[in-house]
């Protein structure tokens, strides 16, 4: 409960009771708090002003640094975080541990600086190559996505480019970006990507070539360059059924409509120069998603060079149980396989992936602007060369709505050469009650309000996380091992933690948590963070120092917790 101290009667007594006590002229603010009332191991709210009404402490240290807080004076705290206040007296010393936070973030953050990712500067000039992915035909009244990749010497560029077109400004971040335009804006549009003019050409389709709705028990083959209208739920049922969609097809699905397949497969065959687009049939609205294998039998979905937009309509009934997002996913896959190669999922109101006991393979995909890219459950997962960004957008407005770039729940996963960035929550949250083995390599975590990677488990789960050659940049915390089983190990090797609030953390936000895992950090650097390394367990307000083990690790500032770490200039 929030407590303010405006004790005018006490102020009078302080001034009159003892001749050597000053009038409290510096403590008339609603947020002022008497030093004599400060308690240890307590969470307080900002704004917070500490007034020294005790004259027996000639020296006061805050987080190890001497501060000016003379008797009769006040000290204003401006940042949330974990504080250690040492009162050094002539005869005795007292130590108080406390945190400061805000009501908005009290449940999502504890003891860490309130983090908003630092803004970036987008370049207006780029000399590399720009390629575009977009549908070649459209019907009036829909939204049309345009995806752009920027490469330099055959490699995805690093950094940010200014981009614009059809009256819209956006950014190409680390080599990829997209924009969604209405058909009123999209006729033969011109774009400027990093100073390069990109002229695109679209053709208005004559009308629908196929109408789909209802149950199908035989193969459905949609020829190339078709225009398909799905006006009611589609059920592909039985081992004789299937759906194949040819390159360049435009598939428009009415609001709230789902596509189901059981005992059969869906195959979507776009090409780089003629991708398939599956989106809602009406601008600004959302269709449902694919529901595969719901009857318990394999029902696979394979797609290449396909663009998926505007899904996730449902958020009530059974959909409320679909993980942290509590909303429909574009791909709900049970006991089946989902394989996407060069696919692009943009502008979804819900989540994108929700597999259960599935085989998931994602290669060179883009997921941009969704509540979250989704939750992977009890599955075997391989993700390579993919980008997950903007959950739900890339603004700097804080949300507390589980907007993770990706949530991994009890999976064996291998992730390589990916980017997780601009998430209002975590870049990758790999938590839950269960185990699994997750290996992440050559991957970037950037501009996440909370953790780049948030890792957790519950006893007796056996769980392993390994991060090799990864970068954690501009996040509230780079990597956190939170509540964890004693059988949970995290290994960091040859990674860099740069410009985060906290670089590497052992501990979490929760009073109930049991934290028993072990974090190994090898051959890595944690530099220019507010705290390069921090070990603090909230449930007992103290660290478990022997659960973080370092070998050849460099930091930019000395830490009392681990004084043996090498400090370097950066």
Chain segment 213-272, per-residue pLDDT in tens: 999 999 999 999 999 999 999 999 999 999 999 999 999 999 999 999 999 999 999 999
Ramachandran region, residue 458 (left: φ > 0; alpha: ψ -120 to 50; beta: rest): beta
Element containing residue 210 per DSSP (H, E)? strand 210-216
Indicate the pLDDT class of residue 7, thresholds 50, 70 and 90.
Answer: very low
Q: What is the pLDDT of residue 56?
A: 86
- For the segment 515-565, what is each residue's pLDDT rounded down to a tens digit? 999 999 999 999 999 999 999 999 999 999 999 999 999 999 999 999 999
Element containing residue 10 per DSSP (H, E)? helix 8-17
Q: What is the pLDDT of residue 22?
A: 54
Q: What is the pLDDT of residue 25?
A: 67
Average pLDDT over residues 431-457: 96
Task: Provide the percentage of residues in the chain whose pLDDT is more than 70.
Answer: 96
Rounded CA separation 478/528 (Å)? 12
Q: What is the pLDDT of residue 455?
A: 98
pLDDT at 500 over 70: yes
Rounded CA separation 154/53 (Å)? 66
Location of structure tokens 């001497």: 66
Average pLDDT over residues 159-171: 95
- Average pLDDT over the chain, rounded to whole? 93
Model confidence, pTM:
0.94
- In this structure, are residues 92 and 69 in contact, taking their beta carbons and an 8 Å threshold? no
Indicate the pLDDT class of residue 1, thresholds 50, 70 and 90.
Answer: very low
pLDDT at 476 over 60: yes
pLDDT at 359 over 60: yes
Under DSSP, the state recorded for 158 is P
Q: Is 29 helix (H, G, I), strand (E, B) or coil?
A: coil
pLDDT at 469 over 90: yes
With 0-12 / 13-18 / 19 or more C-beta atoms within 10 angstroms meaning exposed / middle / buried, residue 197 is exposed
Longest CA–CA separation in the chain, Å: 96
Q: What are phi and psi of 236, to 5 degrees?
A: -95, 110
Could you tell me where the DSSP H helices lie in 146-195? none
Within a 13 Å sphere around the CA of 524, how many CA atoms are in the beta-carbon half? Answer: 27
Rounded CA separation 181/227 (Å)? 19
Average pLDDT over residues 364-373: 98
User: In angstroms, what CA-CA distances link 77 with 24, 46, 100, 165, 352?
Assistant: 18, 8, 8, 45, 41
Rounded CA separation 208/227 (Å)? 5
pLDDT at 283 over 90: yes
Peptide bond preceding 296: is omega within 30 degrees of 0, i.e. cis?
no
Rounded CA separation 35/53 (Å)? 6
- For the segment 83-120, what is each residue's pLDDT rounded down to a tens digit? 999 999 878 899 999 999 998 888 789 999 899 999 99
Task: Provide the percentage of residues in the chain whose pLDDT is more than 90.
Answer: 87
Peptide bond preceding 392: is omega within 30 degrees of 0, i.e. cis?
yes
Q: What is the pLDDT of residue 13?
A: 35
Rounded CA separation 169/138 (Å)? 22
- For the segment 300-326, what is each residue's pLDDT rounded down to a tens digit? 999 999 999 999 999 999 999 999 999
């Amino acid at each position: 409960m929030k407590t303010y101290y405006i004790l005018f009667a006490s102020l009078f007594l302080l001034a009159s009771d003892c001749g050597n006590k000053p009038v409290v002229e510096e403590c008339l603010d609603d947020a002022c708090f008497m030093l004599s009332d400060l308690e240890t191991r307590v969470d307080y709210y900002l704004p917070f002003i500490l007034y020294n009404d005790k004259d027996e402490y000639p020296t006061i240290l805050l987080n190890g640094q001497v501060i000016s807080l003379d008797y009769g004076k006040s000290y204003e705290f401006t940042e949330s975080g974990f504080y250690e206040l040492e009162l050094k007296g002539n005869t005795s010393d007292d130590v108080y541990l406390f945190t400061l936070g805000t009501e908005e973030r009290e449940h999502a953050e504890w003891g860490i600086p309130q983090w908003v990712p630092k803004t970036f500067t987008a370049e207006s000039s780029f000399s590399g190559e720009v390629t575009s992915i977009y549908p070649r035909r459209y019907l009036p009244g829909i939204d049309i996505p345009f995806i752009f990749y920027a490469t330099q010497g055959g490699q995805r560029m690093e950094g940010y480019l200014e981009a614009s077109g059809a009256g819209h400004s956006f950014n190409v971040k680390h080599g990829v970006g997209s924009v969604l335009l209405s058909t009123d804006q999209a006729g033969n549009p011109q774009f400027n990507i990093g100073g390069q003019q990109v002229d695109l050409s679209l053709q208005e389709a004559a009308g629908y070539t196929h109408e789909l709705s209802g149950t199908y028990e035989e193969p459905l083959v949609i020829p190339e360059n078709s225009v398909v209208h799905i006006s009611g739920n589609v059920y592909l049922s039985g081992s004789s059924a299937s759906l194949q969609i040819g390159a360049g097809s435009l598939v428009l699905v009415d609001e709230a409509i789902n596509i189901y397949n059981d005992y059969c497969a869906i195959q979507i065959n776009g090409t780089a120069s003629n991708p398939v687009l599956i989106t809602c049939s009406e601008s600004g609205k959302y269709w449902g998603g694919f529901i595969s294998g719901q009857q318990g039998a394999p029902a696979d979905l394979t797609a290449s060079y396909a663009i998926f937009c505007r899904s996730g309509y449902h958020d009530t009934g059974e959909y409320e149980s679909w993980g942290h997002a509590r909303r429909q996913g574009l791909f709900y896959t049970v006991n089946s396989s989902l394989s996407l190669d060069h696919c692009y999922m943009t502008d979804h109101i819900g989540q994108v992936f929700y597999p259960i006991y599935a085989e998931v393979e994602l290669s060179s995909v883009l997921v941009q602007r969704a509540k979250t890219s989704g939750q992977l459950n009890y599955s075997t997962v391989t993700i390579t060369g993919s980008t997950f960004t903007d959950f739900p957008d890339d603004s700097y407005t804080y949300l507390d709505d589980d907007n993770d770039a990706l949530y991994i729940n009890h999976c064996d996963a291998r992730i390589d050469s990916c980017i997780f960035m601009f998430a209002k929550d975590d870049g990758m949250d790999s938590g839950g009650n269960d185990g699994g083995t997750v290996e992440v390599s050559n991957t970037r975590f950037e501009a996440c309000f909370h953790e780049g990677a948030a890792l957790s488990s519950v006893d007796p789960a056996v769980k392993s996380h390994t991060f090799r050659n990864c970068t954690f940049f501009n996040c509230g915390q780079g990597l956190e091992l939170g509540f964890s089983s004693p059988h949970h190990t995290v290994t960091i090797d040859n990674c860099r933690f740069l410009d985060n609030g906290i670089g590497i953390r052992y501990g979490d936000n929760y009073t109930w948590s049991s934290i028993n895992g072990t974090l190994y950090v090898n051959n890595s650097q944690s530099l220019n963070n507010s705290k390069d390394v921090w070990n603090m367990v909230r449930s007992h307000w103290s660290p478990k120092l022997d659960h973080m083990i370092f070998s050849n690790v460099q930091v930019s500032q000395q830490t009392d917790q681990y004084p043996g770490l090498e400090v370097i200039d950066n």
